[in-house]
């Protein structure tokens, strides 16, 4: 998993509330357990017409937001079913940070396991960042995970909270497999000892 340290990028405003995982990645696309390839179908029903053409006024289809790496969203983001394909699609599109007033618990935890930083802020601070994001590609935000600060394009600095363990995992690029591999020497030693004690197993 890629390390997350400091992110500077375009923020896309998406003020809709209750964006659920089926809106993020419709169930028709859940045909693979690979983590890649889902970005093109992120928000599919909001991004495309039935004939496959783009809906021009959807935020991620606008030229100024096609390279967005930060999403400023409405309340209760990621609700609905627990599909991990939702953060896979977000990450594959290139979004590395989602800011909202609240997230569904399972989606929130799945973000950390897939290199995405979900940040919870009070409504007034989300409103400030939403307005900043509406300025387009010239308004770039900075998210500093080590310092736990967001800096708007106008220089406003907003602190945020993050679980220390989850922060450690993101900064070091550790998913569940990576955490296990940190203990590989201990695992190998245990296996060797177990094999010597019970060679018949």
Sequence-distant (≥ 6) Cβ neighbours of residue 67 within 8 angstroms: 9, 10, 94, 137
Nearest to 77 by CA among 158, 145, 12, 171: 12
* pLDDT at residue 150, as a whole number: 98
- pLDDT for residue 104: 97
Domain assignments of the chain as residue spans, ordered by start? 6-197
Q: Return the exposure string of 100-123: e unless at least 16 CB atoms fall within 10 Å of the residue's CB, then b.
A: bbbbbebbbbbbbbbbbbbbbbee
Over the chain (201 residues), the average pLDDT of each successive run of 10 is 93 97 91 80 96 96 97 97 92 98 97 97 98 93 98 97 96 73 59 70 67
Q: What is the CATH number of domain 6-197?
A: 3.20.19.10
Alpha-carbon gap, residue 155 to 176, rounded angstroms: 36
Q: Would you state the pLDDT for residue 68?
A: 97
Q: Percentages helix, strand, coil for the chain, rounded to the nearest 5? A: 40, 20, 45
HSE at residue 39, side-chain half, CA atoms within 13 A, is 15
pLDDT at 200: 73
């Amino acid at each position: 998993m890629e390390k997350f340290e400091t992110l500077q990028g375009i923020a896309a405003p998406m003020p809709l509330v209750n964006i659920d995982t089926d809106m993020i990645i419709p169930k028709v696309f859940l045909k693979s357990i690979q983590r890649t390839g889902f970005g093109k179908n992120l928000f599919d029903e909001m991004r495309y017409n039935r004939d496959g053409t783009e809906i021009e006024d959807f935020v991620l289809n606008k030229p100024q937001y096609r390279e967005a790496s930060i999403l400023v969203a409405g309340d209760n983001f990621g609700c609905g079913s627990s599909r991990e394909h939702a953060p896979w699609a977000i990450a594959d599109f290139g979004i590395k940070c989602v800011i909202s007033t609240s997230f569904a618990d399972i989606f929130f935890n799945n973000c950390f396991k897939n290199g995405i930083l979900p940040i919870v802020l009070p409504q007034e601070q989300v409103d400030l960042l939403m307005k900043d994001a509406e300025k387009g590609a010239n308004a770039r935000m900075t998210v500093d995970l080590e310092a736990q600060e967001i800096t708007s394009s106008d220089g406003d600095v907003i602190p945020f909270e993050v679980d220390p363990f989850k922060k450690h995992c993101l900064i070091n690029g550790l998913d569940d497999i990576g955490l296990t591999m940190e203990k590989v020497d201990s695992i190998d030693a245990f296996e060797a000892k177990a094999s010597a004690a019970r060679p018949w197993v």
